[in-house]
Amino acid sequence: MTTRARSLLTSSAVVAALAATALVAPTATASPAATATTTTVTTTAAAVSAPTLVTAYEPSAADARIVSKLTARATTARFGTQFSGAVMDARTGKLLWSKNGNTALKPASTIKFVAATNALRRFGPTYRFTTTVRRGTQADQVVLIGSGDPALSSTQLVSLAKQTAYAMKANGQLRVRLYADDTLFAAPSLATGWPSTYIPDETTWLRALVVDQRQVSDTTIDAAKIFAAKLKTYGITVASVTRGTASTANPVLATSAGQTVDQIVTRMMMESDNEHAEALHRLVGVRSGAGKTWSAASSAAKKGLTYEGLAATAIYDGSGLSRSDRLTSIQLAKMVKNTFEPANRVPFRILRSSPGLPQAGMTGTLRASYDRFTASTSKCAAGKVYAKTGTLRDAVALAGWTIGKDGRIKAFAFIINGNPTSTTVMRQNIDMLAATVNGCY
């Protein structure tokens, strides 16, 4: 796994805005009509240079400018007829502007916000998935048990092999039969809305046991074979490798705790990692008691949205690859806004800054090498916008936040389907909208 350079939020304005937001509870906002709408903001005070603690929305010149500019720029000529956009005040939840805000479209990878928030809430940011080795029913049987950890590393397998070898040697066993248990997840299958070409072009079969994110057809047996090789280095001969199911009644021989959930979420959000997203999506389903299938995971994801105060829509996977997934820009903007609520300060910390979200023109899928925030209409916002990207062959989306000219945090989401022009141009146009929200363009 490549380690990416990560920037820190050091601007006093950013720190102050985050602190202010963390202390103010949002107020309820009525949903706008499903048709294109624009919320008018009446300017009653000049834009301020630093955030002010408020319990109710206070109009600003910056917000009035956002409404005016977005209305003029988010045109059908630029974005086509399948566009949904929304901007909110992160402190109060006030809807500042929307166009087709309640129109459900393919969100692409911005749906990873759902997997991220559900995993962080269900497990907590510091939780670690533990891979375990148990003795089988026979003295010479060893079972490697997948925990669903998408970040399991070969280094962890070395530790597991060392512990296992020590335990087996203590019982006089130098030759073992190795079994791999991946039954935490249901047998691999395509999610609803996944074309068959997605395997292996976009992702791999989802299994509960995978090492080093290796893109192979059977990650479980692959991991078991690597584990067998590690055992050999510690003097244990592996006679056979096959699938099997562990019994919790049998003793534990070895354990290895992996990365924290917030580290896994960071990788998923920064690099739009599909495997991490699908694993977290499925793990939330298992943890919630819904079950270990695609449908169970989707049910748990929808319940997570309800917990966030959002109506459930069509969620069929965790990555956004499904062509059947649907979210609205208002839903996405609310998810971003919810990360700033006081109750979410700890679990959602990683989603409020870099490295948890790509930073415009600098990190993750928003870095300049991907031609993000490099155009004349958006480069002024480089380093000032934090957002999750989304791209399919006919969908481009961006959901995140920025600090406006009034010093207040703005949560936004923009979704384009049907791409009226090239993907590159659509990305440039959507970056322009984010720069407009920031106020620099």
Residue-wise pLDDT tens digits, 242-270: 999 999 999 999 999 999 999 999 999 99
Please name which of 357, 366, 364, 423 lies closest in space to residue 394, comparing C-alpha atoms: 423
What sections of 355-394 are H helices per DSSP?
none
- Cα separation of 314 and 324, whole Å? 7
Q: Is it the case that residue 43 has pLDDT exceeding 70? A: no
Residue 11 has pLDDT above 50, yes or no: no
Instruction: Write the pLDDT tens digit of every residue in 186-207.
Output: 999 999 999 999 999 999 999 9
Q: Rounded CA gap, 81 and 232, in Å?
A: 61
Q: 53: pLDDT confidence band, cut at 50, 70 and 90?
A: very low
Beta bridge partners of 329: none
State residue 361's pLDDT score: 98
**For residue 56, what pLDDT is reported?**
81
> 38-47, 265-274, 353-362: lowest mean pLDDT where?
38-47
Q: What is the pLDDT of residue 27?
A: 33
pLDDT digits (tens, 9 = 90+) for 123-134: 999 999 999 999
- Picking from 10, 9, 29, the residue whose alpha carbon sits closest to that of residue 331 is 29
d(CA 5, CA 16): 24
Lowest mean pLDDT among 8-17, 130-139, 301-310, 357-366: 8-17
Domains of the chain from N-terminus onward: 12-107+326-438 (3.40.710), 128-259 (3.50.80.20)
What is the C-alpha to C-alpha distance for residues 271 and 411, in angstroms, rounded to an integer? 21
* pLDDT computed for residue 41 by the predictor: 32
- pLDDT grade, residue 17 (50/70/90)? low
pLDDT above 90 coverage of the chain, percent = 82
Q: What is d(CA 397, CA 225) in angstroms, rounded to the nearest whole number?
A: 40
Please give the C-alpha separations between residue 169 and each of 139, 152, 175, in angstroms, as whole numbers.
Answer: 11, 25, 9
- Which range among 65-74, 138-147, 195-204 shows the weakest confidence by mean pLDDT? 195-204
pLDDT of residue 307: 85
